[in-house]
Amino acid sequence: TDCGVVVAMSVKQVFDLFNTDGVGIPAKDLGTVLRAAGKAPSEADIQELAAAAGDPITEDKFTAIAKDQPELVEAEVLQAFEVFDQNGNGFMPLKELCDVLKNLGEGVPDQILDQLKSVAEPDEEDQVNIRHFVDILLKTGV
């Protein structure tokens, strides 16, 4: 289907972005690259896949791995961020969003955090529209 082509292009674009030396992506970056492609692997999956794929991971291997990974589902991502909507108005403070992204799980690297801050488009009170942020996050694969 056309949908499969779009997904494959997206995975290739993400691979190309992280393939900085032209020989593949480092196995240690597999989780980051999969998540940038809109996938939701578990930590255990990442460790197992990285060990099996070799280092560096070629485009063909990465494409095969990505194809078998679950997609991030917008409703689930939205629900996860709504936990931080203390006033029930669909917004959260930019500082809190950054703290959450930096400190939960593996944490988001500062470089990506800076990109996320710019696409979050906080209002004059530094509040981020959660639905808008999730839409951008899933569409851009930041």
pLDDT along the chain (142 residues), means of 10: 42 88 93 84 88 94 90 78 87 90 78 83 93 78 51
The pLDDT score that the predictor gives to residue 141 is 52
- pTM: predicted TM-score of the whole model, two decimal places: 0.51
Q: Are 61 and 53 in contact (CB under 8 A)?
A: yes
Q: Could you write out the DSSP letters of every residue in 16-78?
A: HHH-TTSS-B-GGGHHHHHHHTTB---HHHHHHHHHHH-SSBPHHHHHHHHHTSPBPPHHHHH
52 CB-contact burial (10 Å; exposed 0-12 / middle 13-18 / buried 19+): exposed
Separation CA 67–CA 65 (nearest Å) = 5
Closest CA to 134 of 65, 85, 66: 85
The pLDDT score that the predictor gives to residue 140 is 58
Separation CA 59–CA 25 (nearest Å) = 8
Q: Which residue has the tokens 């996860």?
A: 80
